[in-house]
């Protein structure tokens, strides 16, 4: 949809933070209601107005006579602005203002996605054995850091994995596994069966008003945490924009998304597109290490002083 003259990030944010159900004052189990829009001709009380999740945000659609559809911003527009036109940037801007000034933030409930992993399964993998300790050392991670993040070792599928659990408020979301002897890019990472996407180190950044770093993976996050930075990493692959994680980091005054410099130009183009999309969803600024380094880990390990100064500069 065209959103002329509007910063997209504000639209994305509003879609994540306001709930159509709570604005209409209806229970979240109602999927179809009588159309509440003023332009709907009311001959009868047939429910025609549906609410669903689409492209990561709530969407309404009236299958009845008015045929209106849109997101939470459009809903406010139709309810409160006469002759609202969702393609008119000025109308959308006014609707957004009414929404943010007059309604309580109430992030929409997600379709229930529950991890199918027993909450304490990570304990069976700790403490890590010699192979993981050695691998972690090579990646710059100290034994205390491994302990702090409950990193372990698993011999699943005849391979040696470094296990890295992600928790949301004490609930295990999933366990990322790094094959410590991987030869090919494709063998490097796996997620333990039953994992769902989440935010690694959510506990470390939650409610913080300070600037935070958003990195690509658990290892970079642990490395930066060792240096005292507020850092988190979406556990989903780079192609996932992770809009659902924004409410978890909305208190931070600034968000810095740390992108990579992939040496393969084709991969680089794709990764850059993913980074732009993710940064837009999480309302973050993109920063990257100098071109000669593939990623922030490389930069930190090769030139720690310079890298730390750079990261501190990004957060200022
Ligand atoms: Zn209608």
| pLDDT, mean over the chain | 90
Asked whether the beta carbons of 161 and 176 are under 8 A apart, the reply is no
Q: Which of the two residues, 233 and 102, has the higher pLDDT score?
A: 233
pLDDT at 311 over 90: yes
> Among 262, 138, 152, 274, which Cα is nearest to 214's?
274
Query: Strand order of the sheet with strand 161-168?
Result: 152-154, 161-168, 171-179, 189-191
Range of lowest pLDDT (30-34, 246-250, 256-260): 30-34
313: Cα within 13 Å, side-chain hemisphere: 9
- Residue 7 pLDDT more than 80? no
Residues with CB under 5 A from ligand 1 (ion): 35, 37, 40, 62, 64, 66
Query: How far does the centroid of ligand 1 lie from the alpha carbon of residue 67, in Å?
Result: 5
| pLDDT value for 56 | 72
What would the mean pLDDT of 59-74 be, rounded to a whole number? 90
Cα–ligand 1 centroid distance for 72 (angstroms): 15
State the pLDDT at residue 110: 62
Mean pLDDT of 109-134: 85
Per-residue pLDDT at 12 exceeds 80: no
Q: What is the pLDDT of residue 113?
A: 66
Å from CA of 171 to ligand 1 middle: 41
Å from CA of 53 to ligand 1 middle: 18
Q: What is the CATH number of domain 121-315?
A: 3.40.1360.10
Q: Which helix (H) or strand (E) holds 203?
A: helix 202-205
- Split at pLDDT 50, 70, 90, the class of 112 is low
Which of 248, 106, 104, 264 minimizes the C-alpha distance to 185?
264
Residues composing the chain: 316
């Amino acid at each position: 949809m065209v959103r002329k003259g509007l910063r997209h990030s504000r639209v994305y944010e509003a879609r994540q933070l306001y709930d159509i159900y709570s604005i209409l004052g209806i229970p979240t189990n109602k999927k179809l209601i009588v159309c509440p829009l003023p332009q709907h001709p009311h001959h009868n009380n047939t429910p025609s107005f549906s609410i669903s999740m689409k492209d990561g945000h709530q969407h309404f659609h009236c299958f009845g006579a008015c045929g209106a559809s849109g997101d939470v911003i459009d809903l406010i527009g139709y309810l409160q602005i006469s002759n609202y036109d969702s393609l008119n940037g000025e109308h959308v801007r006014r609707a957004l203002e009414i929404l943010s000034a007059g309604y309580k933030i109430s992030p929409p409930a997600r379709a229930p996605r529950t991890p199918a992993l027993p909450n304490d399964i990570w304990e069976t993998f700790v403490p890590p054995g010699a192979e993981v300790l050695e691998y972690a050392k090579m990646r710059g991670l100290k034994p205390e850091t491994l302990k702090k993040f409950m990193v372990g070792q698993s011999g699943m599928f005849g391979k040696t994995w470094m296990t890295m659990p992600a928790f949301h408020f004490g609930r295990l979301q999933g366990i990322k596994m790094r094959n410590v002897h991987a030869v090919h890019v494709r063998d490097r990472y796996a997620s333990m069966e039953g994992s769902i996407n989440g935010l690694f180190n959510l506990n470390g950044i939650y409610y913080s008003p300070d600037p935070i770093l958003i990195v690509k993976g658990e290892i970079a996050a642990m490395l930066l945490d060792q240096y005292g930075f507020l850092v988190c990493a979406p556990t989903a692959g780079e192609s996932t924009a992770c809009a659902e994680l924004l409410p978890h980091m909305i208190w931070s005054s600034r968000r810095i998304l740390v992108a990579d410099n992939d040496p393969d130009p084709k991969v680089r183009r794709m990764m850059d597109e993913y980074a732009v999309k993710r940064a837009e969803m999480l309302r973050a600024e993109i920063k990257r290490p100098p071109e000669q380094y593939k990623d922030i880990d490389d930069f930190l390990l090769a030139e720690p002083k310079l890298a730390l100064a750079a990261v501190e500069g990004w957060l200022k």
